[in-house]
Structure 1
Amino acid sequence: MAELGSGGPNRSLNTWVRSSWGPLALMGLLGRIHPLLVDVRVFLQPLTASVEKQREPAPRTEPDRQRGPDHELYRDLLTGGGEGGKPLGISTVTRTHAILRKSFGDAVLVDELIPANPVERAKRPKATLNEPGSVWTATQLRTFLAAVRQHRLFAFYHLGAYTGARRGELLNLRWSSIDLDAKQITISGSTGIIAGKRIEGATKSGRSRVVSIDDETVAVLREHSRDQAADKLLVGERWRGTQDGYVFATGWGNPIHPDSVGWLMTKTIRAYNAPKEGPRPAEQLPHARVHDLRHIHATTLLLAGVPVHVVAVRLGHADPAITLRVYAHVIRSAEVAAADVFARVMNEAA
């Protein structure tokens, strides 16, 4: 069995774990778990001890007792595992467990560094999927889109509402990923800000997906493309975009900061509710986040009777069961209506 040492082929634990995290690191998770990024051994000490124990020959009279990572690891991450001692969300800690499990699984099956995976004995924290609260109606969404229509990022909000894509997925979108003739976009990556730096990686599910778009959205994107071409022509050689540039960029071609779209949405809603000139609208527009556009898309489709598995594909959920859990309240309301539908069909057949 190979040694888990340091130098040359005998790689250190830090080096091995870092290299084995590969694709999962693209999710931007490592940047959020500051202590792990600085020194892997800090939080993997229980695992290191377990690995060393596995390498020592155990007495034949006693069973080999492997123990997984101390549960204090997950507790510490939840309470202060982020940068600057900030708490981490349950989903981040759950994904940390998945990374550790995968890394040590590779150590067993691929690198053959240890005989068994110590993480298998650990109890991962369970995440609770909260149902989204109240979301805009279709009329309220139309009101917001009309209010932001003249802004250069109008197409961002329109595409978010009409595809259900996540904020980071939209900001990572390139023009090569859009086929206006086929009326579809390919979502293959995401963008986020980690420790003040822009990070690009895989989507939340780790998979790419193709999402169909309607004729109105095609027209919106064509107009957006023309506007961006005009920006590029205006600044000339000072244009900072690449050949395969971002669909949503600044007037200089730079990528949009994720916080900017949230701030602009809030500013637009406030300006609509309290205009500088003229009377206030009879119905105020409730506050909403960029992510709420995704919820509006999902609830609208589900209430219209679109199958759950189709909605799950559009949203990029790895399993339709996730869609069922997140939007259980919508499914329930549709189920109540189903009873009336069946009764009406039976009455018409009488």
Structure 2
Amino acid sequence: MSRLDRAVNIDDIRRLAKRRLPRAIFDVIEGGAGDDGTLAANRDDFSKVTLLPRSLVDVRKGIDLTTNVVGQTFNMPVMLAPASFGRMANPEAERAVAKAAAKFGTGYIMPGGASEPVEAVAKASDGGPLWYQIYLAPDESRNADLVDRVRASGFQALVVSVDTPMKPYRERDMRNGISLPLSISPRLLATGVSRPKWALDFVFGNMASGFSVNSARRAVYSFEAAMAGLRPVTLDDIAWLRERWDGPLIVKGILSDDKIIDMIALGVDGVSVSNHGGRNLDGVASAISALPRVVDAAGDDLDVLVDGGIRRGIDVVRALALGAKAALMGRPYMYGLAAGGQRGVERVIELMRNEIHIAFAFTGCLSVEEVNHEILQNGHELFDVALALASAQPEPVAAGA
């Protein structure tokens, strides 16, 4: 039995990843922004949502984990969030993630900062549930070309990230002299001395893909460098994407309800409540605490996802009970990718699916449709507070009034 097979939870997979990766690379996956306060809150706030076990339900009838998001059916209510630069974890990179997700019939959102082209990942997915996350570039023609390539490759939905108007200030990466996209450099190779297997995989895997050796220097912050290659996303950009992309459109990176009405009016199909895994701005709300208010504002007009802090199947059930259609996990499958490539990702999905199944059984839920705030012991307080806050807000003023 392999170490992956012996793993009984995500934290076991995390430890395997930490053993294989150089510290600097593990920090890229693990770290957040600032003091990691929001990173911690993403996890800690899940513990404030407790479930109410319900007995006297014959779960032998079978438990159905399938869920429907923006008109698409997935085999379980957890999807793989976009996590960039998979090759730093394993040479199999995004192709391995796509194959693993397809095997289990769950969605994978290919990251805009992927190590591989959209065509290669789509081919690896072999028709499995596959969405694409887009970061809008300053060059409009580049955006248009990318959307067209994504469509031609068969991606079923487009996810636009709106929470990264500039490159974030990630102190761990700066101290480690790491900048993204990750490239081979003498300094990076030096960090890999303690992990020779990773270093060999990274060097030969990347050289085969045409990467070059670059000089390394400590990352220095400047506003100009932080703005390079990125642009703030506006409602006008959402309107442009809606016109150009005829499939489901999801807006990722929402923590409040103040633009939900505008998104509905523009024809957006869904939103993902997310603080970018605590990696962009420290001191903002956790994803799970922001979820109920967004759910209330979205009503039946938008499907709501949540992304940030998912480590257990019970976290997914908590999110569903607070109104999410599904939850996204990022770091867990990156641990799996680092620990064992495609098989590592598969083991993470398998563990998560099993834990969700167990949580459904003990809360007496036979399907995703039966999971609601009635199974919450005290997490409904988050739901009630969100509703109270929403009802206390003044009605939005119509344009032109």
Tell me which structure has the larger Cα radius of gyration: 1
TM bucket normalised to smaller: under 0.3
Q: Per residue, is there more helix in 1 or in 2?
A: 1
TM-score of the aligned structures, taking structure 1 as reference length: 0.25
Q: Per residue, is there more strand in 1 or in 2?
A: 2
